């Protein structure tokens, strides 16, 4: 007997009122079923926002590509792995981010290597093989870095940034005609020279040239705070420190003496007419030579950085000084020296004098070194 026949036959023997009541009950059941279905759709629709990600790997396994990428991948991407994530969840996440093609080869590699995935932010690459992806999670991909050495000038730092892969126009925009105030450091200085802290900086795709410069300036500000240098004194101290950095080796004692010589030269007891007479500042104008010697013509420049013609300190630093040079500028040695010369640039040996006659004798020692090493003294 067909279902339809069964339905009608089941109404036999019922009164018309009972048949109508039965139909009403049947209609109410259908309405309840429809309501339940709608509620389920709504629940799964909302839950799907949170659950599809977890289920994504299942769909990928059933309907997605079955192969695996080859190699180490292409563009870098940042992956945030939440605490407590299972290997399956991480695999699904990597598939969605385009890091791996599908989850199964990745999970097989995890099992083969008995690897444990740690929570955190990871640098990965798009289109990595599963083997490369697991390796990147076990031995993280180190972000690219740039290193600004002590004593580097803005133009040199600019070259370092461009050589690291940064866009040249963006680097120029971040550095050219900028001052510390443009990066939130309230110090009067004619440029960023001296305010790009010498250190190593991490690079990634999200960082712009301005971001990196901001980090450099921020580190300078931190260093000034740690050394107790107020903003009103910062440019003077960093300018002196940059001269010490360029004119003397890393020996703390020599540096503190060189700092004292410069201060004595611009004091009331100056024997140089208030002139620093620093070859380093002239070299800054014209481009440094390996031995920092300068020619008579170069020393005739009208630049405010020509300390053979302009009294006092130059307008600002001539490089990014090291912490040691800054400390020497803060705590110069006690003494009456007015002159110094590195008599052996190879070893850094430096002789000091408190009068010009003794200084000339020291200079002769330096000239002898130049002759012996076939150096041109200009």
State the pairing for strand pair 200-202/339-344. unpaired
Mean pLDDT of 152-175: 94
| pLDDT confidence band for 8 (50 / 70 / 90) | very low
| pLDDT confidence band for 67 (50 / 70 / 90) | confident
- Tell me how far the alpha carbon of residue 215 is from its chain's centroid: 7
Residue 198: half-sphere exposure toward Cβ, Cα within 13 Å: 19
| pLDDT confidence band for 203 (50 / 70 / 90) | confident
Res 361: pLDDT? 95
Give the chain's largest Cα–Cα span: 138
Res 348: pLDDT? 83
Tokens representing 27 are 């209609």
CATH code matching the domain that covers 75-138, chosen among 1.10.760.10, 3.30.1490.480, 3.40.50.1100, 2.130.10.10: 3.30.1490.480
Say yes or no to pLDDT of 46 above 90. Answer: no
Dist. CA 203–CA 164, nearest whole Å = 9
Say yes or no to pLDDT of 176 above 90. Answer: yes
Element (H, E) at 341: strand 339-344
Say yes or no to pLDDT of 57 above 50. Answer: no
Torsion of CA 275, 281, 283, 284, to 10 degrees: -150
Mean pLDDT of 174-200: 96
- Domain boundaries in the chain? 75-138, 154-337, 338-377
Q: How far is CA 199 from CA 136, 177, 249, 358, in A?
A: 26, 22, 19, 39
What mean pLDDT is reported for the chain? 84
DSSP letters, 97-122, are: TTSSS-HHHHHHHHHHHT--PPPEEE
């Amino acid at each position: 007997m067909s279902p339809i026949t069964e339905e009608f036959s089941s109404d036999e023997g019922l009164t018309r009122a009972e048949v109508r009541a039965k139909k009403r009950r049947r209609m109410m059941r259908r309405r309840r079923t429809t309501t339940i279905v709608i509620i389920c759709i709504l629940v799964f629709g909302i839950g799907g926002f949170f659950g599809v990600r977890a289920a994504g790997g299942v769909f990928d396994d059933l309907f997605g590509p079955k192969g695996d990428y080859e190699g180490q991948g292409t563009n870098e991407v940042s992956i945030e792995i939440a605490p407590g994530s299972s290997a399956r969840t991480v695999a699904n996440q990597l598939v969605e981010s385009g890091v791996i093609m599908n989850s199964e080869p990745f999970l097989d590699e995890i099992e083969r290597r008995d690897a444990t995935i740690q929570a955190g932010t990871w640098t990965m690459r798009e289109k990595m093989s599963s083997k490369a992806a697991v390796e990147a999670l076990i031995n993280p991909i180190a972000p690219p870095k740039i290193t600004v050495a002590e004593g580097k000038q803005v133009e040199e730092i600019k070259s370092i940034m461009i050589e690291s892969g940064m866009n040249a126009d963006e680097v120029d925009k971040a550095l050219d005609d900028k001052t510390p105030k443009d990066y939130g450091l309230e110090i009067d200085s004619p440029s960023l020279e001296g305010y790009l802290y010498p250190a190593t900086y991490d690079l990634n795709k999200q960082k712009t040239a301005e971001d990196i410069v901001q980090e450099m300036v921020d580190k300078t500000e931190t260093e000034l705070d740690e050394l107790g240098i107020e903003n009103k004194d910062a440019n003077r101290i960093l300018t002196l420190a940059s001269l010490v950095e360029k004119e003397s080796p890393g020996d703390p004692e020599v540096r503190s003496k060189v700092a004292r010589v410069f201060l004595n030269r611009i004091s009331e007891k100056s024997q140089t007419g208030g002139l620093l007479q620093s070859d380093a500042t002239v070299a800054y104008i014209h481009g440094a030579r390996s031995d920092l010697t300068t020619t008579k013509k170069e020393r005739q420049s009208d630049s405010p950085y020509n300390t053979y013609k302009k009294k006092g300190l130059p307008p600002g630093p001539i490089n990014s000084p090291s912490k040691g040079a800054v400390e020497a500028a803060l705590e110069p040695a006690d003494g009456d020296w007015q002159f110094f010369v590195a008599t052996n640039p190879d070893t850094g040996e430096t002789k000091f004098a408190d009068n010009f006659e003794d200084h000339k004798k020291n200079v002769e020692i330096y000239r002898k070194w130049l002759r012996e090493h076939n150096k041109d003294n200009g």
